[in-house]
Amino acid sequence: MTIFMKMSKGNGSVVRWHIDSNFSQDTSAHPVGSYAVTLLGPPTWIADQSREFNRDLIKTVRSAPFGYHDSKNWPANQDERLRERIGDRQIYRFTANQKDSPVHTTPPHLEDRIFLLVNYAN
């Protein structure tokens, strides 16, 4: 179980879209079930894979050498369109290092944030 806590910088930050890695080179082996919840601050942004307008972003992240894509000054209206909605204190589950693992990011660092993550595997 991992806990993340951040105090607000108040001036935003780079939005880093990425896929979590489990460091297994074989993506078909050892699927990891990750569960997360935001206890304070804005929830994680998940790029909704079913939406046409997210295809470029998802493709960019999946083809990036380290699975990262940094976006500075991402337009606010774009953010609204990109996000899959996660409610307040909503627990969600996602995979790591799979071909269809969700592309996601921590929101701009404008508010204090506390985030919990737990991984299950065998």
Interface contacts to another protein, rule CB under 8 A: 1-8, 20-25, 30-33, 35, 37, 39-40, 46, 49, 66-67, 84, 86-96, 98, 100-102, 106, 112-114, 116, 118-122
* Minimum CB–partner distance for residue 22 and another protein (Å): 6
Minimum separation from the CB atom of position 75 to another protein (A)? 23
Residue 19's nearest CA partner among 65, 50, 85 is: 65
Tell me which residue has tokens 């960019």. 60
CA 31 to chain centre: 17
Residue with smaller CB distance to another protein, 3 or 76: 3
Q: Please state, in angstroms and as integers, the Cα–Cα distance from residue 61 to each residue in 16, 64, 74, 118, following that order.
A: 10, 5, 15, 23
- Give whichever of 80 and 112 is closer to another protein, judged by the CB atom: 112
Residue 117 CB contacts under 8 Å (≥ 6 apart), including other chains: 1, 2, 3, 4, 34, 35, 36
| Shortest spacing between CB 103 and another protein, in angstroms | 10
Nearer to another protein, 75 or 99 (CB): 99
19 vs 74, beta carbon nearer another protein: 19
